[in-house]
Amino acid sequence: MTTDRVVYMDNNATTRVAPEVIEAMMPYLTTWYGNPSSMHTFGGQVRHAIEKARGQVATLIGAQPEEITFTSCGTESDNTAILSALENDVRRRQVVTTRIEHPAVLGLCKVLQRRGYHIEYCPVNNRGQVCTDALARMITDETAIVSVMWANNETGNVLPVHEIADLAHAHGALVHTDAVQAVGKLPINLARSNIDFLSLSGHKLHAPKGIGALYVRRGVPLNQYLIGGHQEFGRRAGTENVPGIVALGKAAELAQAHLDEERTRVAELRDVLESGILGACPDSRVNGNPPNRLPNTTNISFYYVEGEAILLHLNEFGVAASSGSACTSGSLEPSHVLRAMGVPEIGLHGSIRFSLCRYNTRGEVDYVIARLPPIITELRAISPYGRQARGE
Ligand code: PLP
């Protein structure tokens, strides 16, 4: 980096831990370090803190506290829900999902396929919208679970999870949604919903890494994924990550308080950023479905350039963004999400995701709008794609 300035616009990869969250969790690293299963005061105080956090998380998504199980991350929640559905009804050996899920779902599905399960992947159109007619045809009385994300991490697209849940229930299948990107950014009220399982992750909403939760609708059976002690009412073994749980509770409370800001100020910042970039960079296109996206996310393809080269140049100016999914970066394979959407080859390699949060400012947005266009021009001048486009 050639600057001390940091402009962090990679919040779908992970978020800064909120200062209030750090303050809330600290006593559970210092003073209240007891094991919540212990009988003494240290244990009791800690147990009380866990139950408070369970209530805070439940409130954010309109659930009952007893419907929340703490896990280690979004990935564990996703795995637990899908495996539980298959184990609880061994006659049903099919999972229906989409081509644009996170690897936490797609990776598991690949393993399940090797174990003899039948997996159906629903296609999406060029805006990343799920074809619900195709999905309806895939769901049968063999389907154990339909797993469809609430919002996509790369494009921010919001999927019609409630409509899909009705289709699944008509065949007696359970419904899981990976809401890791949606929770804290969109209002969610599970009390008026037909979803059976919902996954969320602390580090996407200003809590630390290593804490997540799984919502399991009352009455829906849950098979333990981690087997051992009787923590979490026998639903998830292992001594609880108490500071993480307290942090997630506080982060959920803050997310609730900032929900309107997310949909107004953060969305406006994203829109200014997006239109500023599109206006200054010819041959750039938004990927996804702008009318129905997360308020903080824009995914833009810059034709004739490599996304990784753009990221490296942005990094020189202290700007953190992402190309494809952070979890799959490190490999230059184009994003499976953009591929599933049929993004043309010239746009597939040069896509950048900017994902904002409540800590971003208008000054930061203007800074990126000023720095990015010369980077694109410079890279196009030297890129083989750029020369190809100019017929050289
Ligand atoms: N699902 C989605 C949509 C995500 O974006 C991520 C993380 O990027 C995950 C699941 C995995 O969450 P975690 O990192 O908490 O395992």
Taking only the tens place, the pLDDT of each residue in 316-351 is 999 999 996 444 445 578 899 999 999 998 899 999
- Give the pLDDT mean for 78-85: 98
Model confidence at 387, pLDDT cuts 50, 70, 90, reads low
Provide DSSP, 288-347. Answer: S-GGGB-TTEEEEEETTS-HHHHHHHHHHTTEE-BSS-GGGTTS-PPPHHHHHTT--HHH
Q: What is the DSSP letter of 375?
A: H
When pLDDT is averaged across residues 246-264 and rounded to a whole number, the result is 96
Mutate which of 180, 198, 200, 214 for ligand 1 pocket (most atoms within 8 A of beta carbon): 180
Nearest to 69 by CA among 50, 82, 45: 50
What's the pLDDT at 345? 87
DSSP character at residue 264: I
Supply the pLDDT for residue 389.
66
**Ligand 1 neighbourhood includes 73 CB (under 6 angstroms):** yes
pLDDT of the residue at 58: 98
Query: Ligand 1: does its nearest atom lie under 6 Å from the Cβ of 182?
Result: no
pLDDT at 330: 54
178 lines ligand 1 (CB under 6 A): yes
**7-16+258-389 belongs to which CATH class?**
alpha beta
Predicted local distance difference test score (pLDDT) of residue 143: 98
The pLDDT score that the predictor gives to residue 386 is: 67
Helix (H, G, I), strand (E, B) or coil at 214: strand
CA of residue 359 to ligand 1 center, whole Å: 21
Residues 265-283, mean pLDDT to the nearest whole number: 98
Residues 8, 320 contacting (CB under 8 angstroms): yes
Active site residues: 327
Q: What is the pLDDT of residue 4?
A: 85
| Average pLDDT of span 15-24 | 98
Please state, for a pLDDT cut of 90, what percent of the chain lies above it.
90
Residue 262's pLDDT band, with cuts at 50, 70 and 90, is confident
Cα(279) to centroid(ligand 1), Å: 32
Q: Where in the chain is the domain with CATH 3.90.1150.10?
A: 7-16+258-389
pLDDT at 327: 44
Give residue 383's pLDDT. Answer: 77
Please state the rounded mean pLDDT for residues 148-165.
Answer: 98
The residue-averaged pLDDT of 4-13 equals: 96
Would the pLDDT of 372 be above 50?
A: yes
Q: In this predicted structure, what is the pLDDT of residue 325?
A: 44
Check pocket membership of 102 for ligand 1, CB cut-off 6 A: yes
CA of 225 to the centre of ligand 1 (A): 18
- The pLDDT of residue 388: 67
Q: Which residues pair with 302 in a beta bridge?
A: 284
Helix (H) or strand (E) holding 69: strand 68-71
Per-position b or e across 363-376, b if 16+ CB within 10 A of its CB: ebbebbbebbbebb
Q: Out of 3.40.640.10, 3.20.20.70, 1.20.1530.20, 3.30.200.20, which CATH number does the structure's domain 19-257 have? A: 3.40.640.10
Query: Which part of the chain is CATH 3.40.640.10?
Result: 19-257
What is the per-residue pLDDT across 84-131, written as a single tens digit (0 to 9) for each?
Answer: 999 999 999 999 999 999 999 999 999 999 999 999 999 999 999 999
Find out whether 244 and 29 touch, Cβ atoms under 8 Å: no
pLDDT value for 328: 47
